[in-house]
Amino acid sequence: MTSTVPASLTRTAEGSTLQAVLLDMDGTLVDTEGFWWDVEVEVFADLGHRLDEAWRDVVVGGPMTRSAGYLIEVTGAAISLEKLTVLLNDRFEARIGDGVPLMPGAARLLAELAAHDVPTALVSASHRRIIDRVLDSVGRHHFALTVAGDEVTRTKPHPEPYLVAAAGFGAEPWRCAVVEDTATGVAAAEAAGCRVVAVPSVAPIAPAPGRAVVPSLEHVDLAFLRGLVSAE
Name 12's bridge partners: none
Angle of helix 81-95 versus helix 64-75 axis, rounded to 10: 110
Q: Mind listing the pLDDT tens digit of every residue in the chain (232 residues)?
A: 776 554 434 344 444 699 999 999 999 999 887 888 899 999 999 999 999 998 987 877 667 788 889 999 999 999 999 999 999 989 988 888 878 999 999 999 999 999 999 999 999 999 998 899 999 889 999 999 999 999 999 999 999 999 999 999 999 999 999 999 999 999 999 999 999 999 998 889 999 987 999 999 999 999 999 999 987 5
| Contact yes or no for 177/229 (Cβ under 8 A) | yes
Q: What residues pair up with 211 in beta bridges, in sequence order?
A: 196, 208
Q: What residues contact residue 95 under an 8 Å CB cut-off, 6+ apart?
A: 35, 38, 39
| H or E segment and range at residue 211 | strand 211-213
- Cβ-Cβ contacts under 8 Å for 61 (sequence gap 6 or more): 26, 27, 33, 125, 156, 180, 181, 182, 183, 184, 185, 202
Predicted structure pTM score: 0.82
What does the alpha-carbon distance between residue 96 and residue 205 come to, in Å, rounded to a whole number?
A: 27
Residue whose C-alpha is closest to residue 222's, from 186, 191, 179, 188: 179
CB 109 within 8 A of CB 217: yes
CA 124 to chain centre: 4
